[in-house]
Amino acid sequence: MASDGARKQFWKRSNSKVPGSIQHVYGAQHPPFDPLLHSTLLKSTPKVPTTPVKAKRVSTFQEFESNTSDAWDAGEDDDELLAMATESLNSEVVMETAHRVLRNHSQRQSQPSQKTPEPEPEPQPIAEPPVAPSGDLRLVKSVSESHTPCPSESTGDTVPLQRSQSLPHSATVTLSGTSDPHALADSALSKRETSRLDKFKQLLAGPNTDLEELRKLSWSGIPKPVRPMTWKLLSGYLPANVDRRPATLQRKQKEYFAFIEHYYSSRNDEVHQDTYRQIHIDIPRMSPEALILQPKVTEIFERILFIWAIRHPASGYVQGINDLVTPFFVVFICEYTDQEDVDKVDVSSVPAEVLRNIEADTYWCMSKLLDGIQDNYTFAQPGIQMKVKMLEELVSRIDERVHRHLDGNEVRYLQFAFRWMNNLLMRELPLRCTIRLWDTYQSEPEGFSHFHLYVCAAFLVRWRREILEERDFQELLLFLQNLPTARWDDQDVSLLLAEAYRLKFAFADAPNHYKKSSATLPRH
């Protein structure tokens, strides 16, 4: 149990600006409420089906409230297997498919190095995701590594494939008697990506795009050239009929700039100046800085956020909403730039008229997203409070040991998961991973509101070993607020989504699955 001294030291560090210090609950416009004082909200929570659990002390957050401030794919694509499994909506098929995806990743991870056996990982209560070696923060191999053919397939002699743990994760040992494995991998990957891109183009070129087919195809990721149009369709911004799209774009863009003309001049009025001031303060804190701090981009974000706040008085502007602009803007701007690194997009070469259209498209797509999660940002942010509570219940069933470890060290889910819900994991993942994650969210029914809960559960238990190694309240919270995902890529997101998909079909709207699943989980 954490001592009073440790907690006092935590609050002392949380108020400091030292890098790596524990961070405030970012985005809490209204302080996290006390469940005892707002019990009616929690009672109305659409709870995950429950089974009897050990009674535990109700958590309150007076200390936290007082400190809250405005700081801040190899061979057949595994994801495609999951997308195809959804067609049957048969839970047994879906569960088997999800297990197959996870098993494929595990087998790829276990193929290297027969000379030096890896230490046996702790039992995994959710599935069997591979545990990376010490110092290696990745879940699975790099794309090029996972596509490297086995020596037995390339030559007559069996040559053991090894990878030095001291090498960068993308590095592999050259196989004797074979051509460059990276070239072979890149070639296979290029063929598969070309094939998927052709499927998208054919689907989008028809007179009426089949949105259901588009969702199934998009679940496993959307190729960059067709992502802008696909996101506009999946978000509901553009119609499925090809002939109607130009007129819709023109009308919505004209409507947005009418809002600008009508409302934006009021940003310095007394009634709106606090909202505009907070937006103006928050934007420079966003990432990636190389993009956000470009003057044109800053102005665009200020206009988008201010207009949305004025037109949605039930919530107004709340910190966290600002982050949700970035993925849409980056995806739409990349259609007009050659920059491969999404973190370093330069808008200076983009014509002004194109920028205007991108601004309007970003506003409308962000608005569509927020329409589905607006209760996250109304007074006291009840949507987030409920989702954090549901996450706690879910984790207590899928990994009781992790749940008890957090509880035993007095780490409350609100202290780290509030930001996961408020910012949709955007502060936990690199932007490139967020964009890949959103491909799937826009393909899932209620992806940003419902499926996100299961992604968060899978994300927390992904760090099971590291969590259980921490024995101190402060270090646990520091770790959970600064998770080592900087090297993550699409493969890591794919594995996370596969596990979340499995959890969704095991637990969502199926009370009996708790009993069935609990019998299969290892006991600790």
| Choice among 51-55, 170-174, 347-351 with the minimum mean pLDDT | 170-174
pLDDT digits (tens, 9 = 90+) for 151-198: 333 333 333 323 333 322 333 333 334 445 555 555 666 888 899 999
What is the number of alpha carbons within 13 Å of residue 301 lying toward its C-beta?
A: 28
Give the residue extent of every domain in the chain: 243-371, 382-508
Whether the per-residue pLDDT at 494 is higher than 60: the answer is: yes
pLDDT digits (tens, 9 = 90+) for 2-23: 445 544 444 444 444 444 555 5
Whether the per-residue pLDDT at 25 is higher than 80: the answer is: no
List, as one string, the DSSP characters of 68-84. Answer: --S----SS-HHHHHHH
| Nearest one of 191, 248, 185, 196 to 225, comparing CA atoms | 196
CA distance 447 to 425: 13
- DSSP structure class, residue 125: S
| Nearest one of 305, 321, 239, 225 to 272, comparing CA atoms | 305
Whether the per-residue pLDDT at 131 is higher than 50: the answer is: no
* Highest mean pLDDT out of 39-43, 59-63, 151-155, 472-476: 472-476
Average of per-residue pLDDT values in the chain: 75
| Choice among 38-42, 431-435, 503-507 with the minimum mean pLDDT | 38-42
Give the pLDDT score at 41. 42
In the chain, the percentage of residues whose pLDDT exceeds 70 is 61
What sign does the CA torsion over 199, 216, 248, 244 have? positive
Whether the per-residue pLDDT at 441 is higher than 90: the answer is: yes
In the chain, the percentage of residues whose pLDDT exceeds 90 is 55
Dig out the tokens for 112 from the structure.
């290297």
CATH code given to domain 382-508: 1.10.472.80
CA distance 260 to 225: 30
What is the number of alpha carbons within 13 Å of residue 461 lying toward its C-beta?
A: 33
pLDDT (mean) for 384-410: 96
What is the number of alpha carbons within 13 Å of residue 420 lying toward its C-beta?
A: 26
Q: What angle do CA 323, 325, 329 make, to 5 degrees?
A: 130
Give the pLDDT score at 245. 96
Question: pLDDT class for 338, splitting at 50, 70, 90?
Answer: confident
Is there a contact between 72 and 23 (Cβ–Cβ < 8 Å)?
yes
pTM: 0.69
Give the pLDDT score at 179. 46
Is there a contact between 326 and 431 (Cβ–Cβ < 8 Å)?
yes
Distances (CA, A) of 208 to 216, 217, 232, 244, 322: 16, 16, 14, 10, 34
Dig out the tokens for 313 from the structure.
């008085």
Stated length of the chain: 524
Whether the per-residue pLDDT at 138 is higher than 80: the answer is: no
Give the pLDDT score at 101. 59
Whether the per-residue pLDDT at 117 is higher than 50: the answer is: no
- Burial class, 390, CB count within 10 angstroms (exposed 0-12 / middle 13-18 / buried 19+): buried
| Choice among 126-140, 226-240, 316-330 with the minimum mean pLDDT | 126-140
The amino acid at residue 210 is D
